[in-house]
Amino acid sequence: MAEGSAPTVDAHVHLWDLDKWKYAWPSPDLKPLWRNFYPDDLQTAMGTTPVRNIIFVQVLNHSTEETEWVLDLCERHPFLAGVVGWVDLTDPQLESTIDRLASSPYFLGVRYILDFEADDWLCRSDVQNGLGLLERKGLTYDLLIRPRHFRYAKEVVGRFPKLKFVIDHLAKPNIKDGVMEGWREGMEELSSFPNVYCKLSGMVTEADPDHWTVEDLRPYVQHVLQCFGAERCMFGSDWPVCRLANADYPQVHRALSQCLDSCTAEQKEAIFGRNAEEFYSIRSLTS
């Protein structure tokens, strides 16, 4: 397969505007991130990588305005292929909110940052009512979980077998200390549900930010591939958050490519594009 012969997709990128909103994260002490990041900055950062399509993932809880802002950016920047936004899953008026957002072809699904909630938040009945609505509407849900959430996530993904879930950032394993116990088994259990996928993203910031290497990441990537198969994994740069690990966009892309050196060309094509396209039901991509 010649490079660039199929659409390429980065399934996990953030943009933000510090002048528009007050963010719970990032904070001013995170100097590599404490500035505005717009589509033009992203396009410059991508450099000569083969990536041509980007999926934005929410940064703000409690703001459909952020989602609407990026949906508008998608209309003006063709390389922005879609938006995983935020909605209040517990809102009695949730359906009307989803219908309004889904009037844009770029609205793909929903994410909620769980770090600000109790560990069992996903299992609340009002939250699950919202997940059921996402399932009926044919949308997706990004699982931003950590190993402590595994038992709750397992319950939820089993309850909604027709809702497509994707685990962000490999569920944030402790790569820095090389810890796999607990994480390894939890990922195996979640992978047994065919509606669950995994993003190969956010790894460099879970490793030693000043001294990470591809070999630090490799065993985690290999385990996820063994569990989910290449057909349920997708690339995400987690730009600009990767800057916290002194990593630029091409470095993150290259690191995953090196971790996939035992994969076939067809498997790499799936991980770097086709799987995200199919998971998120993206209507149009740039080759």
Domain count, the chain: 1
* Percentage of the chain modeled with pLDDT above 70: 98
Contact predicate 165/197, CB 8 Å: yes
Going by pLDDT thresholds of 50, 70 and 90, the confidence category of residue 175 is very high
In a domain, 35, yes or no: yes
pLDDT tens by residue, 45-64: 999 999 999 999 999 999 99
pLDDT tens by residue, 135-172: 999 999 999 999 999 999 999 999 999 999 999 999 99
In a domain, 215, yes or no: yes
- Answer whether residue 5 shows pLDDT above 70: no
DSSP per-residue letters across 135-158: HHHT-EEEE---GGGHHHHHHHHH
**First-to-final CA distance of the chain:** 13
In a domain, 285, yes or no: no
* Percentage of the chain modeled with pLDDT above 90: 95
Contact predicate 287/4, CB 8 Å: yes
For the domain that residue 126 is a member of, what is the CATH number?
3.20.20.140
pLDDT tens by residue, 14-54: 999 999 999 999 999 999 999 999 999 999 999 999 999 99
- Answer whether residue 276 shows pLDDT above 90: yes
In a domain, 273, yes or no: yes
- Answer whether residue 262 shows pLDDT above 50: yes
| Over residues 208-229, mean pLDDT | 98
pLDDT tens by residue, 242-258: 999 999 999 999 999 99
In a domain, 130, yes or no: yes
- Cα→Cα distances 277→108, 120, 158, Å: 10, 30, 23
> What is the model's pTM?
0.96
Look at residue 147 in the predicted model and tell me its pLDDT: 98
In a domain, 284, yes or no: no
Average pLDDT, the chain: 96
In a domain, 237, yes or no: yes
> The domain containing residue 157 runs over which residues?
9-279
pLDDT tens by residue, 80-138: 999 999 999 999 999 999 999 999 999 999 999 999 899 999 999 999 999 999 999 99
Going by pLDDT thresholds of 50, 70 and 90, the confidence category of residue 283 is confident
DSSP per-residue letters across 148-200: GGHHHHHHHHHH-TTSEEEEGGGG---TTTT--TTHHHHHHHHHTSTTEEEEE
- Answer whether residue 3 shows pLDDT above 50: no
